[in-house]
Amino acid sequence: MTPSDIQLNRLLYYLQRAPRIGILSHKNVDGDSLGAQLALAHGFRARGTSVYCGNLGTIPKKLQFLPGAEMVEELSTREDAEKFFACCDLLLAVDTGDYGMTGLSEIGVEPEHIPVPFVNIDHHADNPGYGLINVVIHDASSTAEIVANIFDGLGISLTPEISTCLLLGIFNDTDSFKNANVYPSTLELTSRLIAAGANMHNIAMNFLRDKTVGTMRLWGEVLSRVHENAELGVVSTVVTLEDIEQYEATPEDLEGIVNFLNSIPDARAALLLSEREKGMIKGSLRTLHDDVDVSKIARLLGGGGHKKAAGFAIPGRLVQDGEKWYIQDDVALAAA
């Protein structure tokens, strides 16, 4: 029995005895985190368990079609979180590679403030195991795939609602089956989900076809700045807050750009630098090469993620000098 099997069995023991379960996703939810969260909610409620879902931040428009999205409560303050915890006997955090990804620290809630057993369900390779129970399966395509294993262990049947949520999670984290984390088990589960009634049409219409005219114009601007470093085999581009405002876009409209850059044949890795708030830059890294680990680069800059998909955030702003772009750290300049 592997360590992950032992942790999974411990989780099943707790789940069978908890009458009230709270489920958290990571802040700035994506298809896998929200899909896993809502699938768990549907599955546990079908067994008669009281379920509460909460997240920091709002759900992006393109994910609001998921069945049950309306049940997710937005947690904005420590008081919100404390009320949420009071409703739970067990708390699950899904798809959160470390505690910071929950966003709870940002509202003053540290792990020692959580009054109930805390469970970490995830597939990130650099997850440190921060919960009382840590179901961390690195070779799962997605957290959604782990949730399907949990349902199998509990004897929970797949419904159309559950299957749609789980299939979206797989679509999200495999980049529609284009990434190297697609295994035979991933395709076998996908077949089961479709047979159980997963709504492929809704996923295609809402998740895969989500670009507005403004989004496409923004992409055009960002792609016009693509730079190739032939020596390193890296292609990169940048987007500023002014770009987002000019095209009346949102940060969610940037999703997919770095994966698109990653499709350039000669590129060993792709990098998108984007200003998400004043004074902060987010970096998104992707690769399709087995001998490249972008998570190592992300960790050097305080971030993390998977071997082929990772990210980080650093202070600074993007400034242009001719055709070149630079990161300017105003905090460091002020201190000097």
Whether the CB-CB separation of 249 and 210 falls below 8 Å is answered with no
Q: Which helix (H) or strand (E) holds 144?
A: helix 143-154
Same domain, 196 and 280: no
CATH classification at residue 157: 3.90.1640.10
pLDDT one digit per residue (tens) for the chain, 336 residues: 676 788 989 999 999 999 999 999 998 899 999 999 999 999 999 999 999 999 998 998 889 999 999 999 999 999 999 999 999 999 999 999 899 999 999 999 999 999 999 999 999 888 999 999 999 998 899 999 999 999 999 999 999 999 999 999 999 999 888 887 899 999 999 999 999 999 999 998 888 777 788 888 999 999 999 999 989 999 999 999 999 899 888 777 888 898 889 888 889 999 999 998 788 899 999 998 888 999 999 999 988 888 888 899 999 999 988 878 988 875 444 433
Do 53 and 151 belong to one domain?
yes
Side-chain-side CA neighbours of 216 within 13 Å: the count stands at 5
pLDDT of the residue at 47:
92
The dihedral built from the CA positions of residue 291, 293, 297 and 299, taken in this order, carries a sign that is negative
104 and 187 assigned to the same domain:
yes
Identify whether the C-beta of residue 305 lies closer than 8 Å to the C-beta of residue 283. no
274's enclosing H/E stretch is strand 269-277
Quick one: 82 and 222 in the same domain?
no
Q: Starting at the earlier edge strand, list the strands of the sheet with 20-24.
A: 72-74, 50-55, 20-24, 90-94, 118-122, 133-136
For the chain, the maximum distance between any two Cα atoms, rounded to a whole number of angstroms, is 63
Predicted confidence at residue 213, as pLDDT, reads 85
Same-domain status, 221 and 203 = no
Does 204 share its domain with 137?
A: yes
Contact 235, 261 (CB under 8 A): yes
Count how many residues are written for the chain: 336
Do 41 and 137 have their domain in common?
yes
- How far apart (Å, rounded) are the C-alpha atoms in residues 113 and 84? 12
* DSSP state, residue 327: E
- Do 117 and 258 fall within a single domain? no
Query: Which tens digits make up the pLDDT trace of 137-176?
Result: 988 999 999 999 999 999 999 999 999 999 999 999 998 8
Residue 39: both structure tokens together: 């699938």
Same domain flag for 109 and 200: yes
- In the chain, where does DSSP find H-type helix? 3-15, 31-46, 78-86, 143-154, 160-173, 184-195, 200-203, 213-223, 241-246, 257-261, 294-300, 330-335
d(CA 99, CA 199): 32
Residue span of the structural domain in which 81 resides: 3-208
Laid out side by side, the sheet with 234-239 consists of 227-229, 234-239, 269-277, 280-286, 309-315, 304-305
Amino acid at 173: D
Strands 118-122 and 90-94, bridge-based pairing: parallel
Rounded Cα distance, 142 and 179, in Å? 12
Closest C-alpha among 75, 35, 55, 26 to residue 206: 35
The tally of domains found in the chain comes to 2
Single residue among 141, 176, 208 that ends a domain in this structure: 208
pTM value? Answer: 0.83
Domain closes at, from 208, 223, 245 = 208
Query: Domain check: are 234 and 252 in the same one?
Result: yes
pLDDT at 4: 76
Q: What is the CATH number of the domain that holds 325?
A: 3.10.310.30
Note whether 217 and 73 are same-domain residues.
no
Instruction: Give the residue from 208, 233, 266 where a domain finishes.
Output: 208
Show the tokens assigned to 258: 């770095």
How far, in Å, CA of 111 to CA of 91, rounded?
11
Residues 152 and 290 in one domain: no
